[in-house]
Amino acid sequence: MSAPASVGVGLVGAGFLAQTRARCYSNVGGVDARLVAVCSRTQEKAQAFADQHQVANTCADLDELLARDDVHLVDLCVPNHLHRPFTERAAAAGKHVACTKPLTAYVGQDLAEDASDADVSATPRAQMLELAVADAQAMVDACASAGVQLMYGENWVHAPAIRRAGELLRAGDAVALELRGWESHSGSHTPYSRLWRYNGGGALIRLAAHPIGAMIALKRAEGVARDGQPIRPVAVTAEVADLSVPAARGATPTIATGWVDVENWGCALIHFSDGTRGVAYGSDNQLGGMESKLEIMASTGHLKCNLSPHDMLRTYAASDGAFGDEYVMEKASTQAGWNYAIPNEDWSSGHLAMCADFAQAVAQGRPAASDGLLGLEVTKVIYSAYVSAAEGRRISLD
């Protein structure tokens, strides 16, 4: 596909993530990017979304969106089970694809249509690993053979704090020895997150996927800068648990509860090919607002990346409602007391820079910084972590 001067973006999905993407594509700098069309499962929702974000065209479905000549980049903001089939269809139509995290998930794709939720989550973890990785590889292959890019929507890779940390490490040829990262809050709002069938896992795939993606990207860049060879994850050890179960023994919990067959806490220890380590957590047990953090203990320095919260703006309010109905930060349950009111989450989370990079990659005909191979490696690490947690042993990724 030749590089267009003006990049037309087609958004697939009009839910939570699509809202972020629409704000970001409307504000990217350094490239002429336009949101030209949106489709969703429900036409009325797509229309309401188009009205809200001034998107000129609403399509009835993916086929109609793919048929448009002014769509060069398709951004998939749809549930996990649609990532592979929608990517393959978009690639076959000659469109570049941006797919959100996780690139793929095991959601019972090999089971009969009438398989129960319990059948899905009872599937052996090794089988899940094989299928999720095969799906991710199929997406990479489909885009490669169609001559289009597969971009992986991992916003942490583009977060200003993490990008700058990577630059500082490379400038001093520092070795990142120990990476500790986590995304934690008080529990997902959506009932779908409670079931393996919809999510392909719990806190590990939904939350820890972010620090895992950032760690792999940083170690990859470190190796390439030093001797042209990426440093790769080679083994994983993990634990998962539903900590809302012991929480019920005390006072009525204010963390989210009702997890059906997924973990609400997960920890993966990643062994990299140069002998260094990463520890990534995902947790639904943290009150007081969302924490998205990555700490790097390097051979010549110590770096703390605070995506959320960070203290560019701290606020105090005597009571909730003191600032009207203004949003303070993700998952903050009140304005009262001291808070971190993040001035621009789209910027600090990396979503804005990521959308800019996707559009620029298409306009300039160069690879995006966060690509399908990164998504593939994250999938491999996460499902190997599930195998490790189920079998109580370290899993080699080879």
Ligand X SMILES: NC(=O)c1ccc[n+]([C@@H]2O[C@H](COP(=O)([O-])OP(=O)(O)OC[C@H]3O[C@@H](n4cnc5c(N)ncnc54)[C@H](OP(=O)(O)O)[C@@H]3O)[C@@H](O)[C@H]2O)c1
Q: Using CB under 6 A as the criterion, which residues of the chain lie in contact with ligand X when the complex forms? A: 12-18, 39-42, 45, 62, 77-80, 82, 100-101, 153, 155
Kindly list the distances between the CA atom of residue 31 and the CA atoms of 1, 72, 108, 189, in Å, as whole numbers in the listed order: 18, 14, 40, 35
Residue 107: count of CB within 10 angstroms of its CB: 23
Nearer to ligand X (CB atom), residue 46 or residue 169: 46
Q: How far is the CB of 95 from ligand X (least distance, A)?
A: 15
Q: How far is the CB of 261 from ligand X (least distance, A)?
A: 17
Nearer to ligand X (CB atom), residue 199 or residue 244: 199
Contact 204, 238 (CB under 8 A): yes
Burial class (CB in 10 A: 0-12, 13-18, 19+), 330: middle
Contact 354, 158 (CB under 8 A): yes
Q: How far is the CB of 151 from ligand X (least distance, A)?
A: 12
Q: How far is the CB of 97 from ligand X (least distance, A)?
A: 14
| Selection from 108, 79, 115 nearest residue 193 by Cα | 79
- In single-letter form, the type of residue at position 35 comes to L
- In single-letter form, the type of residue at position 144 comes to A
Contact 207, 184 (CB under 8 A): yes
Nearer to ligand X (CB atom), residue 86 or residue 272: 86
Contact 270, 277 (CB under 8 A): yes
Q: How far is the CB of 17 from ligand X (least distance, A)?
A: 3
Give CA–CA dist 75/374, Å, rounded: 17
Nearer to ligand X (CB atom), residue 82 or residue 126: 82
Give CA–CA dist 231/273, Å, rounded: 6
Q: How far is the CB of 67 from ligand X (least distance, A)?
A: 15
Q: How far is the CB of 292 from ligand X (least distance, A)?
A: 9
Nearer to ligand X (CB atom), residue 42 or residue 54: 42
Angle of the 125-146 helix axis to the 83-92 helix axis, nearest 10: 10
Q: How far is the CB of 246 from ligand X (least distance, A)?
A: 27
Residues 6+ apart with CB under 8 A from 178: 276, 277, 278, 279, 296, 297
Residue least distant from ligand X (Cβ): 15
Nearer to ligand X (CB atom), residue 44 or residue 178: 44
Buried b (16+ CB within 10 A) or exposed e, 206-218: bbbbbbbbbbbbb
Nearer to ligand X (CB atom), residue 20 or residue 276: 20
Nearer to ligand X (CB atom), residue 79 or residue 160: 79
Identify the residue whose tokens are 């997150």.
193
Q: How far is the CB of 107 from ligand X (least distance, A)?
A: 11
The pairing of beta strand 6-12 with beta strand 57-59: unpaired
Nearer to ligand X (CB atom), residue 77 or residue 395: 77
CA dihedral for 212, 213, 215, 220, sign (positive or negative): positive
Q: How far is the CB of 157 from ligand X (least distance, A)?
A: 11
Nearer to ligand X (CB atom), residue 47 or residue 334: 47
Give CA–CA dist 224/210, Å, rounded: 21
